[in-house]
């Protein structure tokens, strides 16, 4: 399990790195937000511990950028005591948990373990309603029938199925399915949503005007 620690105070960074390494985690440390972001973008990171007060950009800015590109890894924020406004802001930006400094290492460890516990999607099969996606064999089954999907269609559907009921913007879908360098003005996402609707029925993916698309959760579809 790989953890990125973004913390500019050497004493705290070293305390965290040593402690987490002793627990068997691979720890990568960044002194500032930019380096922290690029460590995550390089891939293979399971969790981020993120200080809010950083020299180049605020921790909340780091979190915002991560979520903007659809990066869903768990993020535990470290805040100075009493930064309540930051806590609220962090929650809205999609942080998973908080620790107020000074903190007990064991408590942080417990929270990291809780966030790294396998979630429902750790099996290779994703299910939403009567739709089943086997990410290992790359097979899609809808209402008991196998559906033939192209690689992009599969990747797009997988992204929706990992976030059922959640609105995903075109930018998020583009970066997740096609990579970061695509022209945000392209209509690729709309075209591929159209392909999926044709193959899987028009009611599955809802257009949220001005925001993007969402996969209707089973109770709604
Ligand atoms: Ca700091």
Do 77 and 103 touch, CB atoms closer than 8 A? no
Q: Which domains does the chain have, with CATH numbers?
A: 2-116 (3.40.50.2300), 125-215 (1.10.10.10)
Chain segment 154-175, per-residue pLDDT in tens: 889 988 988 888 899 988 888 7
C-alpha of residue 185 to centroid of ligand 1, in Å: 37
Q: What would the DSSP string read from start to end of 130-198?
A: TEEEETTTTEEEETTEEE---HHHHHHHHHHHTSTT--B-HHHHHHHHT-TTS-TT--HHHHHHHHHHH
What does the pLDDT profile of the chain (221 residues) look like in tens digits? 899 999 999 999 998 999 899 888 999 999 999 999 999 988 889 999 999 889 999 898 999 999 888 888 999 988 876 666 666 666 677 788 888 887 788 888 888 988 886 554 445 788 888 898 887 777 899 888 899 998 889 889 988 988 888 899 988 888 777 765 567 678 889 999 999 999 998 889 999 998 999 998 655 54
Cut 0.75: pTM above it: no
C-alpha of residue 66 to centroid of ligand 1, in Å: 19
Eight-state DSSP code of residue 58: -
C-alpha of residue 7 to centroid of ligand 1, in Å: 6
């Amino acid at each position: 399990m790989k953890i990125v620690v973004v913390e500019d105070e050497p004493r705290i960074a070293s305390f965290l790195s040593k402690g987490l390494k002793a627990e068997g985690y691979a720890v990568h440390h960044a002194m500032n937000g930019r380096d922290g972001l690029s460590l995550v973008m390089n891939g293979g990171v399971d969790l981020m511990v993120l200080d809010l007060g950083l020299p180049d950009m605020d921790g909340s800015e780091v979190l915002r950028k991560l979520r903007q590109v659809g990066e869903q890894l768990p993020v535990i924020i470290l805040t100075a005591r009493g930064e309540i406004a930051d806590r609220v802001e962090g929650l809205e930006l999609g942080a998973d948990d908080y620790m107020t400094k000074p903190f007990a290492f064991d408590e942080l460890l417990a929270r990291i373990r809780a966030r790294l516990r396998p979630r429902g999607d750790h099996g290779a099969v994703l299910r939403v309603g009567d739709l089943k996606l086997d990410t290992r064999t790359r097979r899609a089954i809808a209402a008991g029938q196998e559906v033939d999907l192209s690689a992009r269609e599969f990747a797009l559907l997988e992204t929706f199925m990992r976030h059922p009921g959640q609105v995903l913007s075109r930018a998020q879908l583009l970066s997740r399915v096609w990579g970061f360098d695509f022209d945000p003005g392209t209509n690729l996402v709309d075209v591929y949503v159209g392909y999926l609707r044709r193959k899987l029925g028009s009611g599955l993916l809802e257009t949220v005007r001005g925001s993007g698309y969402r996969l209707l959760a089973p109770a709604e579809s």
